[in-house]
Chains A and B, each alone.
Chain A
Amino acid sequence: MLKKPCGTFDETYAQDMSVIRTPYRGGLLILLFLFLFVITPLIADNYALGVMNLIGISVIAMMGLNILTGYCGQISIGHVAFIAVGAYTSSILSQHLGWPFWATFPSAILVSGLMGMVIGLPTLRIKGFYIAISTLAFHYIIVWAILHGGDLTKGVWGLPCEFPELFGISFNTEKKMYYLIMILAVIGTVLAFNLVRSKFGRGFVAVRDNDIAAEFMGLNIFRLKSIAFIICAMYAGAAGSLYAHYLGMITVEQFPLIDSIWYLGFLIVGGLGSISGAIFGVVFYRLIAQIVLFAAPMISEALPFLSVSGVAGFTQMLFGLVIILFLVLEPRGAIHRWQLTLTSFRLWPFPY
């Protein structure tokens, strides 16, 4: 969270707790709003909008992982599986039952949340590394279920999914989807922001930083962990649902295990346990992929001895490299570095 510049004092606690505590913050929010809802739709072409749409969906997914891993300290490598649950729930309801988006979307959130509750249950007994392994097992269970789902999931062939339709508007273009995705991403972010500054957010960090002390203080560790698991899964479900309705077609290959690892990696890159860090991580993640996409043809032209698949592997390699660099140089994430810069700037010219 941003600190106030020196010399600014708060009149009341309500004021101190409000989001827009300084003109700087208010200005930043207005700029962000203008960028998202005025400038981008005006100047971006379909390609750029497509990138933004993927970023928006990933932001929603990342909000959930940040609550579970960043705040509550429970490592999940099953995040993509929860996204798949949301995507398949939506597609199945849309395809087989003809449900509209306004019904499939909350259903996907609900189903994913229920799975999160079940997967979170073993956390009563196990900790840390073992939870990570149980979420890994969950990933393979979901993949197996999709492949063997018969007519319901159409196995390897994948399922089509209708474009969202709300209030008589069909969201059948990149630009229309862009508005829908960004509005939902903003709502998801605001909700997450509220949650983490509430007693639940403090409880999550208490569990993460010192679960024994937390129990001495009367916190219900198991309940807090379960809540974090459920919320994380619900965010993933929402992201999955949007993803399916946006793409119009989903297959099991769109949910590879490695993406769960990248989500975790870029959460660390952005800054664990920070909302803006999580957003930064996602943007970074998607932008690197784009840069490689542009650079790949040039690289294979310049270095013809590299095969096409070798160049394609660059993305993954670069992801790995970026994560390692951050782990070594700034393990607390880019957002921490940014705040340090900001703090020194605000105290200028009197850095006491």
Chain B
Amino acid sequence: MEKTSQTELLQLKSLNLSFGGVSALNQIDLSIYEGELLALIGPNGAGKTCLLNCINGFYKPDTGQIKYKGRDITSVPLRNRAHLGIARVFQGIQLYEGLSTLDNLLAGAHFFIDYNILSAFLYVGKAKREEIRQRRKVEEIIDFLEIEHVRKKRVGELPYGLQKRIDLGRAMAMSPDLLLLDEPMAGMNLEEKEDMARFILDIHEEWGTTIVLVEHDMGVVMDVADRLVVFDFGQKIAEGTPDEISKNPKVIGAYLGVEV
């Protein structure tokens, strides 16, 4: 598993974020290295989603700095961070439910598809070529995630487990360098969880995508992660390999003791 480089893809420097006196993130320093699968764990309300939202640019930290590929992106707006290669799978379902599976994925690739409104009206030439090119790319993801059979179904009508997979597919269609997964296995049965874990590992290994995985299920996390970071009450209380974390008394006290 030693394919993790020592180059930092993302650096968070003393991030602070609070909501009306409640500190959601407290002096967070964290580096994410290129090609690693980093798991972010911690009890409910620990600030995991908030951290992802800061990386995405949905929340702006009160103080602190975010560097991505060596560049300060602290004040780059949400939408432009997607263009920089930061993709997100949300907690719960946040799909475009009126679109088919195929169209959800194509919508993920939206900003790669390059043609203007006039050719869209005529749907010839460049528009058609671009659509076919993206279709090819998206079909690879559909094969990979084994969702061929629901390709043309409206996603709103599909079961939860499949929707979650499509959510992952849409993020993959953004060709991300950094993939942020917020509890992608929550609410799934064991089999679905295993499938999802396998997909995440495969993305990590075949595509070499850097992944931040927020997850409650310790068993899964210990299996798949290269490195773990533990949050509690907005603070980073531990960081290390799965082995180190499982032996860390602080973690056992704050989290493992309760959960396992």
Taking Cβ atoms with an 8 Å cutoff, the residues of A that contact B are: 3, 13-14, 17, 191, 194-195, 197-203, 205-206, 208-210, 212-221, 227, 273
What are the 10 A-B residue pairs with the smallest beta carbon separation, nearest first? A218-B82, A198-B120, A194-B123, A209-B96, A213-B94, A202-B107, A218-B111, A199-B113, A13-B135, A191-B121
State whether A218 and B99 are in contact (beta carbons under 8 Å apart), knowing that A194-B121, A195-B121, A210-B94 are contacts in the complex: no
Q: How far is the CA of A213 from the CA of B98 in the complex (A)?
A: 14
Which residues of chain B from 99 to 131 have a CB within 8 Å of any chain A CB?
Answer: 99, 103, 106-108, 110-111, 113, 115, 117, 120-123, 127-128, 130-131
B84: nearest chain-A partner, CB-CB: A218
Q: Looking at the assembled complex, report how far the CB atom of B191 sits from the nearest CB atom of chain A, in whole angstroms.
A: 23
Contact assessment for B110 and A203 in the assembled complex, using a CB-CB cutoff below 8 Å: yes
Q: CB distance A217 to B95 under 8 Å? A: no
* Bound-complex Cα distance A77 to B211 (A): 46
Cβ 8 A contact of B78, one of A3, A198, A199, A216: A216
Partner among A3, A17, A205, A215 whose Cβ is within 8 Å of the Cβ of B132: A17
Task: Say whether A202 contacts B110, CB under 8 Å.
Answer: yes
Question: Total interface residues on B, using CB and 8 Å?
Answer: 40
Please name all residues of chain A whose beta carbon is closer than 8 Å to the beta carbon of B88 when the two chains form the complex.
216
Question: In the assembly, what is the distance between CA of A221 and CA of B88, in Å?
Answer: 17
Are A195 and B107 in contact, with the CB atoms below 8 A? Answer: no
B97 interface contact, C-beta 8 A? yes
Nearest-Cβ distance from residue A8 to partner chain B, whole angstroms: 12
Does the CB pair B131–A206 fall under 8 Å? no
Partner of A215, one of B78, B108, B115: B78
What B residues does A202 contact at CB under 8 A?
A: 96, 99, 103, 106-107, 110
Q: Is B152 an interface position by the 8 A CB rule?
A: yes
A sample of 17 cross-chain residue pairs with beta-carbon separation below 8 angstroms, ordered by A number, consists of A13-B135, A17-B128, A17-B132, A191-B121, A194-B122, A198-B123, A198-B131, A202-B96, A205-B107, A206-B96, A209-B97, A210-B96, A216-B58, A217-B107, A217-B110, A217-B170, A218-B80
User: Which residue of A is nearest B136, CB measured?
Assistant: A13
Contact B96–A213 (Cβ < 8 Å)? yes
Report if B56 contacts A (CB, 8 A): yes
Given contacts A198-B127, A205-B96, contact A219 B110 (CB under 8 A): yes
Specify which chain A residues have a CB less than 8 angstroms from the CB of B83 in the assembled complex: 218
- Asked if B123 and A199 sit within 8 Å, CB to CB, the answer is no
Which residues does chain A contribute within 8 Å of B120, judged by CB atoms?
Answer: 194-195, 198-201
Closest B residue to A209 by CB, please name it. Answer: B96
B79 at the interface (CB under 8 A from A): yes
Docked pose: A219 CA to B109 CA in angstroms: 10
Which chain A residues border B87 with CB–CB below 8 Å?
217
* A216 and chain B: residue at smallest CB distance: B88
Residue pair B132, A13 in contact (C-beta under 8 Å): yes
* B174 in the interface (beta carbon within 8 A): yes
Residue B90 CB within 8 A of the other chain: yes
A-chain residues with CB within 8 Å of residue B121 when the two chains form the complex: 191, 194-195
Partner of A216 from B82, B98, B132, B139 at Cβ < 8 Å: B82
A219–B96 contact, CB under 8 A?
no
Residues of A within 8 A of B170 (CB): 217
Residues of chain B contacted by A273 (CB below 8 angstroms): 98
Residues of B with C-beta under 8 A to A205: 96, 98-99, 103, 107
Do residues A200 and B117 form an inter-chain contact, with CB atoms below 8 A?
yes
Q: State whether A199 touches B115 (Cβ < 8 A).
A: yes
Contact (Cβ within 8 A) A216 B96? no
**Do the beta carbons of A227 and B139 come within 8 Å of each other?**
no
The smallest C-beta distance from B73 to any residue of chain A, in angstroms, reads 14
Give, as a whole number of angstroms, the nearest-CB distance from B225 to chain A. 23
CA distance A220 to B117 in the complex (A): 14
Give, as a whole number of angstroms, the nearest-CB distance from B117 to chain A. 6
Nearest CB of chain B from residue A50's CB, rounded to whole Å: 30
Indicate which residue in A194, A198, A209, A220 contacts B79 across the interface (CB closer than 8 Å).
A220
Cross-chain contact A206 with B107 (CB below 8 angstroms): yes
Question: In the complex, which of the residues A3, A191, A199, A209 contacts B110, with contact meaning CB atoms closer than 8 Å?
Answer: A199
Give A263 to B78 CA distance when docked, in angstroms: 36
B56-A208 in contact (CB<8A)? no
Q: Hey, which chain B residues are within 8 Å of A195, CB to CB?
A: 117, 120-121
Chain B 29-60 near chain A by CB (<8 Å), digits 1 or 0: 00000000000000000000000000010100
Cα–Cα, bound, A110→B108 (Å): 32
Query: With A199-B115, A213-B96, A216-B88 given, is the CB distance from A17 to B108 under 8 Å?
Result: no
B132 touches A14 (CB 8 A): yes
Q: Which residue of the partner chain B has the closest CB to A201?
A: B120
Contact (Cβ within 8 A) B131 A17 = yes
Given A194-B121, A213-B94, A218-B83, A3 and B106 touching (CB < 8 A)?
A: no
Interface residues of B in 137-193 (CB under 8 A from A): 139, 152, 170, 174
Q: Which of B58, B121, B122 has the most CB of A within 10 A?
A: B121
User: Once bound together, how far apart are the Cα atoms of A10 and B90, in whole Å?
Assistant: 33
A227 close to B117 (CB less than 8 A):
yes
Which residues from B are CB-within-8-Å of A208? 98
